[in-house]
Structure 1
Amino acid sequence: MIRRKMILYLLALLIVLFLPGSGSAPAAQLTINENNSGETLTLYPGDIMELTLESNPSTGYAWQGDLNIAGVLEVIEHGFKSRGVLPGAPGEEYWLLKAAGPGSGSLSLEYSRSWEEDNDPVNRFAAVISVLEPVPQVSGGETPGREAGVPVFIDGVELDFPDQKAFIEDGRTWVPLRTIAEALGWQVQWDPGSGTATVLKGNREVRLQAGSALLDVDGRPRELAGGSQVRNQRIVVPLRDFCGILAVYSVAWDPGTGAVLIESGALEQLVAGLTLEEKVGQMLMPDFRTWNGEDVVACNDEISRLIREYHVGGVILFRENVTGTEQTVQLVDQLQKAAGAIPLFIAIDQEGGRVVRLQTGTVMPGNMALGAARSPENTYKLAKAIGKELNVLGINVNFAPVLDVNNNPDNPVIGIRSFGSDPQLVAEMGTAYIKGLHDAGVAAAAKHFPGHGDTSVDSHLGLPSIPHDLERLEAVELVPFREAVKQGVDMIMTAHVTFPAIDSTQAVSRLDGTPVFLPATLSEKVLTELVRNKLGFNGVIVTDSLKMKAIEDHFGPGEAVVRAVKAGADIVLMPGDLEESMQALLGEIRAGRISEARVDASVKRILGLKLKMGLLSEQGPASGEPGAGPEARLKAAQALVGCAEHLALEREAAEKAVTLLKNDGMILPFRLKDGDRVVLFAPWSDRLELMEEALGRIVQDAKIKDVKVDGFVYENLAALNEQQKKALFAADYIVLGSYSYDLESRVPGRHWLPGFALDTLAQAEEAGKPVAVLAIRNPYDIAYMPGAKAFLAVYGAAEGPNIPAGIRTIFGIVKPAGKLPVSIPDAGGGKNLYECGYGLEYPE
C-alpha cells in the first residue's frame, strides 16, 4: 500500500505540476555516469557533457575506447580525479565532451587491462548520442510559423497555446511566459502597476519586467539573452534561454518535425520511484486468450493477481477476448482496475482486412486494398475510424500499420496485409495511416522491422531468412520505416526474421542443437545499431509475439526475453512464461549483465508514451474516451462502433480498390435482365454467402425479376462435379471466386484451388459461357490462369467489404478504379505479366 501511494504521489506530481523541472543542470552542461549506460542521450551543438566512471589505474585497469564521433561529438578534456591523498587511491576517470554538430552515434568503453586481450572486460559503458540541429537562423526579420505557431512538446506532450502562438524570430523560438512557466509547474503572478511578472516554485523566484532583458533570479540580477517582448498583450520570452533559467533538463530542436522538444526531468523522477520489479513489469505485455480452456471475456481473479504481482505494463487482446461492444468495454475496465497506479497499454492487432480482432464494428478493406486505391486521404480516414472505435472501447495501442514491402508473391504471412511492392507507396499510405490513428488518440506501431515482405516462410511456423545487405534494405525495406519515424510513429515492432548480411551472430537452437542466426528481434545490431542509431528512433521498440515458432522453437522463454532486452527491445510481447521471463530478467540485472540504467531507459520511453497519450492523467478525458468511466464509455461506444458513417467509409474504400486486370471482348460489366441465371463459385461457404448476399441486393434494388442464382462451394474439389457442370451449362453469367494464400495454393496439380479454377474456365470456354474471375485474396492468381477473359482483384478475405465490392463491380453498379499495388510475375517467375500501377477501366 505504501508503494502504491508513493507511485500515485509521483504521478500526481507529474500531472498536477505538468512535468516540473527536475532541478538538474541546465541544458548546456550535462553530467552522466555509469547509471546512464544503455540510455539515448540528446544534445544539440555546443552542449558540454561530462562523463565520469569509477577507475583505479594502479590496478592496471583503465577504460578503453574512443569517444570521438566524427562531426558529432569530440573529447575536449580527459583525466583522472583521485579520491585519496595516497598514491594508488581509487577515483574517477572523466571526459569532457562537446557536441560538435547534428548527427548520432554510439559511445562504447570497456574497463580492462590492455595486455589481457583474451579476458572479458570487468565493466562496460555504452550509450547512444543524438545531437539535434539547433533552431535555424532567420534573416530579414522573417517570422516563420507566426500564424500557425511552432509546435512545442514537453516530455512528448504538445503544449497548447490558446492565444499567442510560439514563433521564431532572430534565430530564437519565442513563447508566452505564462504558458511555458505554468506548463513546467511554476506559478505566475502579474503586477499591472509595475508591469512585472513573478514566477514561483518552491523556494525559487524569478522576476521579469515586461519588455526588459534584466531578471531577478532568486534575489540575484541576471540578464535574459534576447530579452523579452510584449506581443498581443502577452510577455513572450526566448524559450531556450528562459528554460535554462528555470533549470529545465533539455531543450532541443527537431528538424524533421520543426518542433521544439523539452525534457523536464519529471519522467526520471517517476522511474526512480519504481522498484526494480515494477520497472521490469512495465516491459512485459502478456496475452490472456484463454484460461483453463475457456476464452477470456472477463478478467478473473487469477488474471488480476498476475497483472498486480508482475506489475505488467500492458496486455494484448485477441479475437477471443473481444466478442461484443459492451463486453469489451467491461473487460478493458477490469484490466485497468487490476493494474493499479500505472495504467496499462491495452493493445490489439486491428489492421483491417485479413487481420481484424474486434467481432463488432467495421472491418475495413485491408492495406493492399488501400494501396490499390492509392489515396492517402482515404487511408487517413479509414485509420482514424479504426482508431476512434478502438479508443472508445478503451484500447489505446493498435499494432498497425504493416510497413512490410511485399515484393515476394510467395509470401504466406504478409501478402495483402502490405500496402504493396513499391516502397514509396507503402511509405505514403503507412504515414497516412499513422496520422489517422494519432488523430483518434491511439498509438501506432509500424511493423515488422526491418521488413517481412520478402520471405516465403511464415514466422508463426518457422524462422525465415532474408539474404539482403544494408544497401538493399536502405533502398527498399527501410524506406517506409524511415518515413514512419519522421511522422512520429510511437512504436516499432520487430520481425522474427534473420538477416545474416546484417548480423551473422549465431546461437544454438534448443530444437535440434544446430546453429541458427539470430532473428532481428534478438539482434543488437538490428534493434540498437539500426533502429536507434541509424534511423534515430527514440520511441518504443516492441517485439513481435515471443510465442511464435520462429522464437519458441529455438529459444527458451527466459532466454528469448533476455536476448530481446539486451538487443534493445523496450517491450517484450507475449513472453512464453510470465514468471520465468520476469525471473530471468531480474537475474540478469542483479548479476550486472543488464544494467539497471538500460532498464530505466526503456521504462522512461514506455511511461513517456503513456504520459503523451494521457494515460497517466488523474482526471479522465471527456466521456467516451479512455479516462472516462465504463458507463459513459459504453454509451459512447454503442453509438460509434460500427456506425453508419464508418460503414459508408468501409464500403467506399473497398469499391475504390477493385482492380480490373483483364476484360477481353469487353464482356464486363455483366448486364442482368429478367429471367437470367447466374452461377457463383467460392472455395468456402462464408465467401459464397457474401457473394450471394451482394448479388441479391443488386437484384432487389434494380427490381429485376425471376433471376435464378446457383451458388456452389468447391472446397477440396479439383474439378467441377456433375451438378456444378449442369448449372454452368445453363448459366447466362458465371462468377468464379478464386483464392490463394501461398505458392503451393497457386500451383496446378499440387493444390485443389487452381485445379478447380482451371477446370471451370475450360468448361465455360467449351460451353461459350462468360466467366468473371474474382480474385478474393491475392491478385497473383492470374499467373496460373492467364487465359481468363475477365479478371478482377479485391484483396479481401472471409469477411468485410471486399467481396461485395467485387460483385457490385462485376454487375456494373460501380466502376473499377483500382491500380495494382504490386507487380505480378508469370507462373515461372521469369518476367512480369502486369506491372505495379496497372489497371483497366470500363468503357464509357
Structure 2
Amino acid sequence: MTTPLQLPRGPVMVDVEGFALTDAERARLAHPLVGGVILFRRNFESVEQLKALTAEIRALREPALLIAVDHEGGRVQRFIDGFTRLPAMRALGDAWEADPAEATSLAEAVGEVLAAELRACGVDLSFTPVLDLDWGRCAVIGNRSFHADPAVVAELAAALVRGLHKGGMAACGKHFPGHGWVEGDSHQVIPVDERELADIRAADLLPFARLAEAGLAAVMPAHVIYPKVDARPAGFSKVWLETVLRGDLHYDGVIFSDDLGMEGAAEAGGFVARADAALAAGCDMVLVCNQPARADEVLAGLTPPAQPKLAERLARMAGQGEIADWRERVASDDFAALRAKVARLSTPPAALEGPAVGEAC
C-alpha cells in the first residue's frame, strides 16, 4: 500500500475527468498547492463507484484533500441514482407560506439527508445553501433561492445548515453579497448590479449576516460587479471580502472563489492572474474547474500570499464522523423515514426547467 504524502492542504481546488483517477490526475493532486477536489456529474456512475473514487483521492494525501460537490437539489444535484432526489429550495419557501414551523423542519431534514448521503460516499462538502434572494430577475438563480424575503431565506437556510451539521457536513453560503438582482448568468457573462451599497445591505446581505453570526463555515462570492461599491467582481474585491465580509460581518470562515473558468471571472485576466487576484482580495481557496490545462497553468505560475489561517480554516471544512458510520446511518430504518419525508418534497419536472447550471458553482 502506498504511503500517503504528508502535505498540508494548499489553496487550489481542481477537478477530475471521469470515474477513476488517471496517472496525470494523481500527479496533479500531489502538487503542494492543491488542497481539494470538486466532483461533478461526469464523475458519478454509481454509489459504489463514487465510494471507490473518493477513497482513492483520500489515500493520496495526509491530511486528505477536501472533496466537494455542488449538490443543492432541484436543477443542481450532481448525483442522482442511489441518492434521494432533493427539492429545489423554492419548495421550502413555498412550504413556509403554508406553515413556517413545518417548513423549518423540512429544511433541516433536507440538509441532513443531503449531507449524510454524501458523507456515506466519502464527500466532505457540498457548496450549499444558496442565500441569494429571488427578485424574479435572475433565471440562473430562480428556484434555487428559498424566497424573496431575506428573513425567510435566513430562517430556512439556518435550518438547512443545522441539518447539514447533523449529517456531518459544514455549509457554504453563496453567492456573496447576492446574485439574485442581476439578470445575467455569471457562467456566461459578467453581470453588473447597479444598486447602492445601502440597498444591498438592506436586503441581500441580511441572510449572509445572519448566518455569519451563527458561525457559517464557508462563503462563496459572486462573479458579479457592483460598481457603486467596487469596480471589480465581488470575488476579486478587497472591499467586499475584507471590508464588508471580514470587517463589517466579522466573518472568519473559509472564502472559496467561484470557478475561475466562468465568464464572470474573465475581467481579472488569465487564469494565473485570476487566482492571484482572488487570493489577494481575501479568498482562501480558488476553484479551477473543467480545464485541466488551465489548472496546471495555475499550479505552475501561482505564488500564493501568506495565508496563516489557511490550514485551520480548511480543517473546519473536512467532513465529520467516520464514513463507515455514515454508511450504517443511511442504511437505517429511521433514515429511510427521513428520506421519505424529503422525497415527498420532490420538485415537479416542470420546476426543474430553466437555464442549465453548468459544471461550475
Alignment TM-score, normalising by the size of structure 2: 0.87
Query: Displacement of 1:449 after TM fit?
Result: 0.3
Task: Count residues with an aligned counterpart.
Answer: 341
Preserved contact between residue 459 and residue 548 of structure 1 (Cα < 8 Å): yes
Q: Is 1:404 paired with 2:105?
A: no
Preserved contact between residue 108 and residue 160 of structure 2 (Cα < 8 Å): yes
How far apart, in 1, do the equivalents of 2:58 and 2:165 lie? 21
How far apart, in 2, do the equivalents of 1:324 and 1:647 lie? 19
Local SS of the residue matching 1:492: strand
Query: Displacement of 1:367 after TM fit?
Result: 0.5
How far apart, in 2, do the equivalents of 1:462 and 1:331 lie? 33
Preserved contact between residue 414 and residue 452 of structure 1 (Cα < 8 Å): yes
Segments of structure 1 that go 5 or more residues without pairing to the other structure are 8-277, 291-295, 505-517, 615-619, 626-632, 659-686, 688-775, 778-795, 799-844
Query: Displacement of 1:410 after TM fit?
Result: 3.0
The correspondence of residues 112-511 of structure 1 with structure 2, limited to 5 A, is 282-288=10-16, 290=17, 296-338=18-60, 340-360=61-81, 361-374=83-96, 375-407=103-135, 409-504=136-231
Distance 1:436 1:533, change over 3 A: same
What is aligned with 1:652? Answer: 344
Local SS of the residue matching 2:172: strand
Q: Is 1:603 paired with 2:325?
A: no
Larger Rg: 1
Local SS of the residue matching 1:547: coil
Query: Displacement of 1:395 after TM fit?
Result: 0.7
Query: Displacement of 1:554 after TM fit?
Result: 5.5
Preserved contact between residue 362 and residue 646 of structure 1 (Cα < 8 Å): no
Q: Is 1:567 paired with 2:281?
A: yes
**Which protein has the bigger helix share?**
2
Local SS of the residue matching 1:378: helix
How far apart, in 1, do the equivalents of 2:30 and 2:223 lie? 29
Fraction of identical pairs, as percent = 32
The correspondence of residues 387-786 of structure 1 with structure 2, limited to 5 A, is 387-407=115-135, 409-504=136-231, 518-552=232-266, 555-574=269-288, 577-586=294-303, 594=305, 596=306, 599-610=307-318, 613-614=319-320, 621=322, 623-625=324-326, 633=327, 636=328, 639=331, 644-654=336-346, 687=349, 776-777=350-351
Segments of structure 2 that go 5 or more residues without pairing to the other structure are 97-102, 355-361
How far apart, in 2, do the equivalents of 1:322 and 1:398 lie? 15
Local SS of the residue matching 1:380: helix
Query: Displacement of 1:573 after TM fit?
Result: 1.2
Distance 1:473 1:424, change over 3 A: same
How far apart, in 1, do the equivalents of 2:312 and 2:155 lie? 30
Local SS of the residue matching 1:543: strand
Query: Displacement of 1:381 after TM fit?
Result: 0.9
Local SS of the residue matching 2:84: coil
Preserved contact between residue 116 and residue 330 of structure 2 (Cα < 8 Å): no
What is aligned with 1:203? Answer: none
> Counterpart amino acid of 2:160?
Y
In the TM superposition, structure 1's runs of 4+ consecutive aligned residues that sit over 6 Å from their partners are none
The correspondence of residues 52-131 of structure 1 with structure 2, limited to 5 A, is none
Distance 1:644 1:438, change over 3 A: closer
Query: Displacement of 1:484 after TM fit?
Result: 1.1
Distance 1:321 1:451, change over 3 A: same
**Which protein has the bigger strand share?**
1
What is aligned with 1:27? Answer: none
Distance 1:329 1:474, change over 3 A: same
Higher relative CO (CA 8 A, sep ≥ 6), structure 1 or 2? 2
RMSD: 2.5
- For residues 568-592 of structure 1, give each alpha carbon's deviation from its aligned partner in whole angstroms, at most 9, with x where no partner exists: 0001012652232133332xx5xxx
Preserved contact between residue 325 and residue 638 of structure 1 (Cα < 8 Å): no
How far apart, in 2, do the equivalents of 1:422 and 1:569 lie? 28
- For residues 32-55 of structure 1, give each alpha carbon's deviation from its aligned partner in whole angstroms, at most 9, with x where no partner exists: xxxxxxxxxxxxxxxxxxxxxxxx
Query: Displacement of 1:300 after TM fit?
Result: 2.1
Query: Displacement of 1:304 after TM fit?
Result: 1.2
Query: Displacement of 1:496 after TM fit?
Result: 0.2
Preserved contact between residue 255 and residue 282 of structure 2 (Cα < 8 Å): yes
